[in-house]
Structure 1
């Protein structure tokens, strides 16, 4: 097989939506740093939602983008939390996929701490091929050809082979 056709995990983005700032968000940030080994970034509310007491610009969530070895390590642990089962509807047409973890204590080697509580998170995985840099670079930017784009079926086969995941319909 041509080496330019090989798939790889570009990034794993972990998002924890808390819905409020303050102490609970700070606790979520500490927990995310323990789980991923990387400092999270705060995310601000883009819209005001009056019944929930959310105003535009308030910090309500945190996220981390993992790449390379950290991404692979966290993804393996996160898939264990889902019993290595993912629905095919979790994949988009460009080969990316997402899933949610209801409780962080489902991740292996994580113990329950009553001071922290329970937090859920969303895990988003971006899959790409070598050569995707031409789409992102500043100078001489170009489109990626249709034959080189990652399809949903390619991504499903890659995840099945690399991570021994069962993809359900």
Structure 2
């Protein structure tokens, strides 16, 4: 039984680490699908843009020629530090979620999109605490906008179709 589990584990680890990593120059796009130049087959794996000094600028992840995720890194950091991570819908190749990371402060901003590429929600966190949240409908503020001032005061404003709701 232990041998079977070991074989399954080895096969799984081989599959996980078998993702191909290529340079952006090794790929081309045709009809919204990404192909590998060598062989002309749909690309599945990771493509990177690395500077001559070895600094990782950005990378993109593909599954059967479709972009699933991209990561842009901060410039001038010793280790690759993500600045923005974008996830895509497989069907439409439009943004699904965009995550922006702060470099000097522990801030994270999430932007969510529908399948048509329209914003649906923005959330901002500082030190893992929600400081801003706003819902959108058809790219306009729609719902409760929540803000947290520097002094900790909560502020809530209601919007309908992009206009502030007067009470």
Q: TM-score, normalised by structure 2?
A: 0.23
Question: Where is the strand percentage greater, Structure 1 or Structure 2?
Answer: 2
**Bigger relative contact order (CA 8 A; separation at least 6):** 1
Question: Where is the helix percentage greater, Structure 1 or Structure 2?
Answer: 1
Larger radius of gyration: 2
